[in-house]
Structure 1
Amino acid sequence: MTDNDRHVLRAGAAARGPYALDIDPKRAGWSYAGLRVLELAPGGSHTLAAGDSEWIVLPLSGGCTVHVDGESFELLGRPSVFGSVTDFAYVPRDAHARIASGAGGRFALAGARCERRLPARYGPAPEVPVELRGAGTCSRQVNNFAAAHTFACDRLIAVEVLTPGGNWSSYPPHKHDEYQPGVESALEEIYYFEVERTRREDSGLGYHRVSPSRPGGTDLLAEVRTGDAVLIPDGWHGPSIAAPGHTLYYLNVMAGPGEEREWLIRDHPDHGWIRDAWPSQPVDPRLPLYGPELDS
C-alpha cells in the first residue's frame, strides 16, 4: 500500500453515519487531530457528543444554530467557502451539542483530543483575521479563525487557505513533525479540499505534495478534488497547487502533544530561499477574495 492509498481520502471514502467525512484519531493512525463534515437537509439536526475532544463548528455552506451548555449560537454561515469568511462556534470536550439548520447546509467539525474544558463560545465573522501570505504566484489568503494567536483552544489549531487559480500555496514546503523548542512544533495535520467550480462541465482539481523528512517518511503526490482530504502525520508538505481558472480552498486542522499551543514550522532547506524573493514582488491582485479584516 502506498502513502497515496493510506493518506489520501477520496470524497465519500471516509463517510460514516451522518458524516460525509469522518476522520478521528484512531482512523488517522495518530493521537489528536480529527475532522468531520456534516451534511444537514433543510430542517435537519444532529447531536454531537464531544467526548474527549474540543470542536469548532464551521459552516462550509449554509447556516445553523448550535445549542450547547445551555446557550444557543446562531451561525449566519455563508453561501460557500469561496464567498466570505464565516462565523463559528466552539464546543468544549464532554459536551453534547445540537446542531440544527432550517435551510440545510454543510458544516465542518474540526476537533482535537484535549485535556482542558474551555467555555462554549461564539466566533464572529468580523473578528476573523484575514492574512495575505506570500507574493507573486505564491500569493494566497489565510483566514485565521482558530490560529494559535487568534482564538483560544486547548490543542486545536485550524485555518482556511484560498489559493487563486494557477498559484502555489503551502510553499515553500515546510514541516512540523518534531518538537524543537522555539523552532518547530510537533503537529498532526489534516487538509480538507474544495475546488471552485467555474464551468458546469469542469469540476476543477488541484495537486498536493508531501515529501519525506526522514527515512521511510510520508511521500505522496495527489490530485485533489472537492471533498478529498489528505492526512499528514509527518513530512515536508507543499506545494498545494491550484489549477488555472479554479480557486483552491483547503481547511487545515492541526493538533499535537506540545505543552504550548503554537504553530512553528521549518522550511525545506532547498526551497526556503523563495521567501526572500517575495518583498520585491506584488501580491496577486486577485487577493483578497474577501475578508473583514486584513492582518498584515
Structure 2
Amino acid sequence: MTRTPEPQRQEHECHLPAGKAANGLYTVDVSPETAGWEFSSLRVVELPPGGWHDFDTGDSEWIVLPLSGSCTVAVEGQTFRLTGRESVFTGVTDFVYAPRDAHASLATRDGGRFALTGARCTRRLPARYQPASAVPVELRGSGRYSRQVNNFAAAARPGGGSGEQGFACDKLIAVEVLTPGGNWSSFPPHKHDEDRVGESRLEEVYYFEIADRDGAPGLGYQRVSPSGNGRNTDLLAEVRDGDVVLVPDGWHGPSVAAPGHDMYFLNVMAGPGAERVWLICDHPEHADVRDSWVGRPIDNRLPLYTAPGSRHDAD
C-alpha cells in the first residue's frame, strides 16, 4: 500500500514526534536535562541481530523492558535472560532492574527494541529480575473508557488495587497502558503536579506505539490542559507510532485511540517526594466519571492478553 505523506504537525515543546527525541543509538532519549525537569528518563534502543549496548546507570535507577524481542542483561556481576515478547500488543514481558552507579550490558541474538525507564534516585537497590508472571495485569474503567494496565513497576495509589503490588524501586514508577481502538484512557483528566495532601508531584513521560490496521498507520490524540502550576502546559497532540509526550504539569487526559487502532503507551514517572506513591487529583468537571463505571461491564476486547499464570483485576 502506498502511504500518503503525513502533513506537517504543529510543534510543541512537550510533543516529540517520532525521531525528534533520537540521539545516537537511541530512537528516544529523554533525560531530565532535555525535558527540563529533575527526575524522569526514558530511552529506547533498537538493536540488530547480534547487537549489544553498554551503558552506565549514573545517578539513576533503570528498568530494561523489552518492547519487542529478547535479550540478556549483565549487571552487578549477574547475567539475566529476558524472554521478552513479539510486540507490546502480544504479551506481558519480564524485565531487569539495574541500580544507580552501575554498568550494564544488553545483548540480543535476534534483535529487538528495548525501553530503558529511569529515575534519578538516592538509594542503591540490588539488581533484580522480574518474571512476566509476577506483573499484575489490571482492567480499569468500563465501556469506552476501558483500558488495560500492566503494573510492572507501579506504586501505591488511592483506593488500593493491583498498583500496590508493583515492583520495588526508589523513585521510579512505570506502567504500560493498552487502549482498544475507539476507547479513551487517562480519563477522567487528572494531575499530579503539587505536593499536598492527596496529591504527589510527579514528572511523566508518555511513549506511544499505535497498531496498524490492514497496513494503514494508526493515530491517537493526547490532551494536556493547564492547571495553573509549573509551565501551565497546554497541548492537544495527534500522536503516532514512536511519539513521546512530556507531562511536566497540568491535567492530562484523555488519551484517545482512533477506531480500529489499538494504542499502547508506556508511562514513566518520578518526583521529589520521600515516599514513592501515585497520588492524583481528578479534574473537578469530570471526576464523577469514575462513579459511572460502577456495575457496568468492561469492554469485552479486554484483556488483550494476560501475564502467564497471573490474574487480572477489574477496577
TM-score of the superposed pair, with normalisation by structure 2: 0.91
User: 1:202-236: CA deviations, max 9, x gaps?
Assistant: 11000000000006600000000010000000000
Which residue of the partner structure matches residue 236 of structure 1? 251
Report the alpha carbon displacement of residue 17 of structure 1 after superposing the two structures with TM.
1.2
The one-letter amino acid paired with 1:244 is P
Q: How many residues align?
A: 292
- Structure 1 unaligned runs (5+)? none
Which residue of the partner structure matches residue 295 of structure 1? 313
Report the alpha carbon displacement of residue 4 of structure 1 after superposing the two structures with TM.
5.0
Query: Does residue 147 of structure 1 match 2:154?
Result: yes
Which residue of the partner structure matches residue 184 of structure 1? 199
Which of 13, 31, 34 is 2:41 aligned to?
Answer: 34
TM-score of the superposed pair, with normalisation by structure 1: 0.97
User: 1:177-222: CA deviations, max 9, x gaps?
Assistant: 00113x001000000000011211x110000000000066000000
- Structure 2 unaligned runs (5+)? 1-9, 156-163
Which residue of the partner structure matches residue 138 of structure 2? 131
CA distance in 1: counterparts of 2:220 and 2:130, whole angstroms: 30
Matches within 5 A, 1:68-87: 68-87=75-94
Secondary structure, counterpart of 1:143 in structure 2: strand
Retained in 1: the 8 A contact 2:66–2:84? yes
Which of 213, 219, 222 is 1:208 aligned to?
Answer: 222
Secondary structure, counterpart of 1:30 in structure 2: coil
Query: Does residue 89 of structure 1 match 2:96?
Result: yes
CA distance in 2: counterparts of 1:42 and 1:106, whole angstroms: 11
Secondary structure, counterpart of 1:62 in structure 2: strand
CA distance in 2: counterparts of 1:178 and 1:241, whole angstroms: 25
Retained in 1: the 8 A contact 2:40–2:119? yes
Which residue of the partner structure matches residue 159 of structure 1? 175
Retained in 1: the 8 A contact 2:12–2:235? no
Which residue of the partner structure matches residue 278 of structure 1? 293
Retained in 2: the 8 A contact 1:42–1:104? yes
Which residue of the partner structure matches residue 259 of structure 1? 274
Secondary structure, counterpart of 1:279 in structure 2: coil
Higher strand share: 1
Report the alpha carbon displacement of residue 295 of structure 1 after superposing the two structures with TM.
2.7
Report the alpha carbon displacement of residue 6 of structure 1 after superposing the two structures with TM.
0.5
Report the alpha carbon displacement of residue 23 of structure 1 after superposing the two structures with TM.
0.5
Displaced runs of 4 or more, over 4 A: none
Which residue of the partner structure matches residue 52 of structure 1? 59
The one-letter amino acid paired with 1:212 is P
Which of 24, 30, 34 is 1:17 aligned to?
Answer: 24
